[in-house]
């Protein structure tokens, strides 16, 4: 059973759950998830301490246990706070991304999207040498375990509209506004 360090931080967009291994950030999740949204946690409340007596005994579904260690998570929290204050455009902490080879290639393509810019699902499909796999790219984005840092919010539909985001379209719009990536086409 792997133990991940974790914390919940308060941000401009609401609480965020962060978990890291010794190799880097494994998860950044919105505390409030949409129905069907993937999570490494069974329940956010378990990690926040509302069921403190259960937390020590609970074995998470993916083979993780969590240790609430805000001090160890501070480097991640600090960079995210800088991002939300518009003082950081790039994250420099290590990531420990876990997924299929295809997912990892999609997530690396997302990491290459510059701050303040967007790409389409088709652009990402071409970037991973699977030009017809835009739907599979969408599913890889849906499985992205490190929201914001692996910037799937920067991916839009081919017609230029906002679509699909685990935190909801309002949150996607808010993140793109923060980065100055919104054009008048997104305003509708």
Per-residue pLDDT of the chain (188 residues; tens, 9 = 90+): 899 999 999 999 999 999 999 999 999 999 765 555 566 765 544 444 544 544 444 444 568 799 999 999 999 999 999 999 999 999 999 999 999 999 999 999 999 999 999 999 999 999 999 999 989 999 999 999 999 999 999 999 999 899 888 888 999 999 999 999 876 444 44
Kindly provide the b/e burial profile for residues 162-171, where b requires at least 16 CB atoms within 10 angstroms of the residue's own CB.
bebbbbeeeb
**Using CA atoms, how far apart are residues 67 and 5, in angstroms rounded to an integer?**
5
Catalytic residue among 6, 106, 152, 163: 152
- Nearest CA to 1 out of 39, 57, 74 is that of 57
**Using CA atoms, how far apart are residues 154 and 109, in angstroms rounded to an integer?**
11
- pLDDT of 140: 95
- pLDDT of 1: 87
Which region, left, alpha or beta, applies to residue 45 given φ > 0 means left and ψ of -120 to 50 means alpha?
alpha
Residue 23: helix, strand or coil by DSSP?
coil
CA angle 84, 87, 91 (to 5 degrees): 75
CATH architecture of 101-186: Orthogonal Bundle (1.10)
Q: What is the pTM of this model?
A: 0.85
Residue 65 token pair = 């246990």
Task: Decide if 152 is catalytic.
Answer: yes
The CA distances from residue 16 to 41, 58, 123, 126, in Å, are: 13, 21, 29, 31
- pLDDT of 177: 94
For the chain, the structural domain boundaries read: 2-84, 101-186
- pLDDT of 46: 44
- pLDDT of 11: 95
Kindly provide the b/e burial profile for residues 2-39, where b requires at least 16 CB atoms within 10 angstroms of the residue's own CB.
eebbbbbbebebeebbbbbbeeebbbbbbbebeeebeb
- pLDDT of 47: 44
């Amino acid at each position: 059973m792997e133990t991940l360090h974790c914390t919940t931080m308060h941000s401009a967009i609401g609480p965020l759950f962060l978990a890291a291994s010794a190799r880097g950030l494994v998860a950044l999740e919105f505390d409030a998830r949409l129905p069907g949204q993937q999570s490494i946690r069974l329940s956010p409340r378990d990690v926040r301490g509302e069921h403190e007596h259960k937390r020590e005994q609970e074995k998470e579904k993916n083979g993780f246990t969590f240790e609430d260690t805000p001090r160890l998570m501070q480097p991640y929290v600090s960079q995210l706070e800088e991002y939300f204050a518009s003082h950081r455009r790039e994250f420099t902490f290590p990531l420990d991304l876990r997924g299929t080879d295809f997912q990892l290639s999609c997530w690396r393509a997302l990491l290459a999207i510059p701050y303040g810019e967007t790409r389409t699902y088709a652009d990402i499909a071409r970037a991973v040498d699977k030009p017809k796999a835009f739907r599979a790219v969408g599913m890889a984005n849906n499985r992205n375990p490190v929201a914001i840092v692996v910037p799937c919010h920067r991916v839009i539909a081919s017609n230029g509209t906002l679509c699909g985001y685990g935190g909801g379209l309002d949150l996607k719009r808010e993140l793109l506004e923060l980065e100055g990536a919104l054009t008048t086409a997104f305003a509708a």
